[in-house]
Homo-oligomer: A and B are copies of this chain.
Amino acid sequence: MKMLIVYTYPNHNSLNYEFFQRVMEGSSDNPHITEIKVLDLYEEGFNPLLVFNEQKRRRDMHTDPGTEKYRKQITWADKIVFIYPIWWGRPPAMLMGYIDQLFASNFAYKDKKGHFPEGLLKGKSVVCVSTMKGPTFYPLFWLNNAHKILMKRVLFNFVGIKKVKFFEFGNMESPKGKQAKKLEKIYSYFKKVNN
């Protein structure tokens, strides 16, 4: 199983980076995971802005040379792991911009006249590891599950990815957030996951 990790946090001196490290450690100890690639969007200097105009057509986005490298990573991967904080109920602008550009028509899905579009990333799986300042129950009860709906129903399922696993860790800015336990949970998950 080939795994791509997309890490989205402004710096490495952070709990998000600790989660990244535990994902790496667990995956390295997992015999099912044969190769790992890492895309650190901030360190990469990824430009999150989708631009289209008279010269650069939106319909050509799936062959844009500027994002070819990132499409190849997605094509290569069997499993994609996103690590990010929840800001204002959803991932940071950087990750939204990666999505705006990478999940392009004719790469991630295909419009079919008169039918529901066809997902082109079938067979892959996704894991989202996210951290929040607020409590863990907050997204579900207060936000109608908006984060998961946006990521799973609107995005991943639409492009054909049915297997989506979420970790939403709340209270992550509190000393009582049980961070060590949650980091351990992530290590254990990635050590064992086999599909």
- Are the C-beta atoms of B50 and A10 separated by less than 8 Å? yes
The answer for the CA separation of A97 and B87 in the assembled complex, in Å, is: 10
- Are the C-beta atoms of A93 and B97 separated by less than 8 Å? yes
Contacts of A166 in B (CB 8 A): none
A51 closest partner in B (C-beta): B10
The answer for the CA separation of A52 and B99 in the assembled complex, in Å, is: 22
Once A100-B87, A143-B154 are accepted as A-B contacts, the answer to whether A50 and B92 lie under 8 Å apart by CB is: yes
The SS class assigned to the A binding surface is: loop
Q: Is A38 an interface residue (CB 8 A)?
A: no
A17–chain B nearest beta-carbon distance, Å: 12
The answer for the CA separation of A156 and B14 in the assembled complex, in Å, is: 28
Once A11-B53, A54-B13 are accepted as A-B contacts, the answer to whether A92 and B100 lie under 8 Å apart by CB is: yes
- Are the C-beta atoms of B154 and A93 separated by less than 8 Å? no
Q: Is A75 an interface residue (CB 8 A)?
A: no
A165–chain B nearest beta-carbon distance, Å: 19
Complex copy number for this chain: 2
Interface size class of A (residues with CB under 8 A): 20 to 34
Q: Is A42 an interface residue (CB 8 A)?
A: yes
Contact of A51 among B42, B96, B143, B153 (CB under 8 A): B42
- Are the C-beta atoms of A150 and B154 separated by less than 8 Å? no
Q: Mark A111-143, 1 if CB is under 8 A from B, else 0.
A: 000000000000000000000000000000011
The answer for the CA separation of A50 and B93 in the assembled complex, in Å, is: 8
Q: Is A185 an interface residue (CB 8 A)?
A: no
A145-160 interface (Cβ within 8 A of B): 145-146, 149-150, 153-155
Known: A88-B96, A89-B154. 11 other contacts (CB 8 A): A11-B51, A48-B97, A88-B99, A88-B100, A89-B155, A90-B90, A93-B94, A93-B97, A93-B100, A96-B96, A143-B153
